[in-house]
Structure 1
Amino acid sequence: MDVLFFLKDRTRLIRQFYEHGTSPFNEIIRKIEAEEEPYVPPYSEDGEPPFLSEWIDADELREVTGRCCLSMLSASLQLYFRTWERDLGLNCGKAFKVEFKNEGIVGGYRACLASCAGIDWTRCPADLDIIEQVVLARNRDQHPESITSVRVTHAEKDRQRYPRPFFMSEREAALFEEGDEPALFMSPSVHVSRDKLMKAIEQVEYLCEWLEEKMFDAKYPARILRD
């Protein structure tokens, strides 16, 4: 099976889903800020910006779409690993139970494939920190803690590992840059911008492209001897 082909077919759809899914929300925000119909501000002496609730709704829905895409990306990567695990006749979850528990899905498969398929992870061209944070952010989105808001925050234990999360808004990132981390009295939000999502997809594809031939070598050792 061409596992990489199916992985890339999924990432292609994720890209399309994000672009089409966020388009109407981007347009609402643009029209409100440009004061275009049907968001032409009426005369008012109220200090609150007009159409504020509509702007907030559109922005939150754009955020939700980004997190949905991140969850799809995490699932796609996990399916890639699981497919090769099955094809290689491995049982990574059982054999490396401690690594999966302590290091998560990416760390668990790194340990398993290094031991069982001879993968030298020091030569991996992909940014594994970003890839690991894809899974961590997905976990937070799929297990929210409050019904009062659609906002999702980074877990404290995840921030201990990644003090400056990749999936964080520019505003909150600026607080870290300026040394105002204490000003973040709440944990920073899981923010999936278009650029961050596309970067994450790119890194997952880099990882799987790099792994693909090595997985075939592990499945068919004669290939290496023949070469």
Structure 2
Amino acid sequence: MDVKGFLDLRLKFIRDFYDTAAAPFNDVMEKIGAGEAPYEPPYSEDEEPPYLSEWINAQSGLDVLGRACVSMLSASLKLYFKTWEVELDITWQDGERKKLFKNGFLWGYIHAYTEVLGLNWDKCPADLDILEQVTLARNRDQHPETISKMDVDYAPADTKKHPSLFFVTEWEQRAYQDSDLAGITWLNPSVHVSREALWQAIDEVAKLSGWL
């Protein structure tokens, strides 16, 4: 089976899907910013920017889209590993798989392929920390903790394990590195998957599959 070929098709789909789905949200935000129809600024003495709710909804749409795409990316990576598990006819002792996978499928498969193929992961060109954060972002998105907002936040344990979070806004990344703010629970950064971050994460998955 051409496992890498099927993965590449999935990676291309994620890119195409994101750009197609993001277009209407970007269009709304650009038109509001430029004051173009149907978002011409009305006369108002209100200090609140016009069409603020429409802009926020469009931004929320982009955020949800980014998280959906990173979830697809995580699933694609897991399917890639699982397919090779079958192709290589990897077998497990009783309880072995559960033990190895307790910290997530990425490290479980890394250990398995190290044993079976004798791989030296120090030579892997992919950024394994970014790949781990792909699965982290997916898990946070699939298990939100509040109904009161569309944003999904990282847990304190996430920020402790990953002091330099990958899927956050530049502002939150800078703010969270401030030692005076890092310990404030309600300031936990949100999962934010920009187009640039998504593309880099996809590239890291491609590097991994090309190396394997």
Q: TM-score, normalised by structure 2?
A: 0.94
1:182 deviation in Å? 4.0
C-alpha separation between the residues in 1 aligned to 2:92 and 2:112?
Answer: 6
1:47 deviation in Å? 1.4
Change (3 A) 1:100 1:183: closer
Three-state SS of the structure 1 residue aligned to 2:144 is coil
Deviates more, 1:69-78 or 1:177-186: 177-186
**Equivalence for 2:126:** 126
CA displacement 1:99-143 (0-9 Å, x = unmatched) = 211x21111111111112212111111100000100010000011
Give 5+ residue unaligned stretches, structure 2.
Answer: none
Q: Greater Rg, structure 1 or structure 2?
A: 1
**Equivalence for 1:197:** 198
% identical aligned pairs: 50
CA displacement 1:129-185 (0-9 Å, x = unmatched) = 000100010000011111111101112222221012100101111214555534864
Quick check: 1:96–1:111 contact (8 Å CA) kept in 2? no
1:45 matches 2:17: no
C-alpha separation between the residues in 1 aligned to 2:181 and 2:200?
Answer: 25
Q: TM-score, normalised by structure 1?
A: 0.88
Three-state SS of the structure 2 residue aligned to 1:96 is helix
Three-state SS of the structure 1 residue aligned to 2:104 is helix
C-alpha separation between the residues in 2 aligned to 1:75 and 1:181?
Answer: 33
C-alpha separation between the residues in 2 aligned to 1:132 and 1:123?
Answer: 17
C-alpha separation between the residues in 2 aligned to 1:178 and 1:156?
Answer: 15
CA-atom RMSD in angstroms: 1.6
C-alpha separation between the residues in 1 aligned to 2:179 and 2:75?
Answer: 35
**Equivalence for 2:19:** 19
Change (3 A) 1:207 1:92: farther
**Equivalence for 2:208:** 207
**Equivalence for 1:108:** 108
Quick check: 1:92–1:108 contact (8 Å CA) kept in 2? no
Q: How many residues are matched?
A: 210
C-alpha separation between the residues in 1 aligned to 2:44 and 2:15?
Answer: 41
Deviates more, 1:195-204 or 1:118-127: 118-127
The residue identity in structure 1 corresponding to 2:131 is I
**Equivalence for 2:153:** 153
**Equivalence for 1:138:** 138
C-alpha separation between the residues in 1 aligned to 2:180 and 2:70?
Answer: 28
C-alpha separation between the residues in 2 aligned to 1:92 and 1:144?
Answer: 33
The residue identity in structure 2 corresponding to 1:29 is M
Quick check: 1:85–1:92 contact (8 Å CA) kept in 2? no
**Equivalence for 2:100:** 99
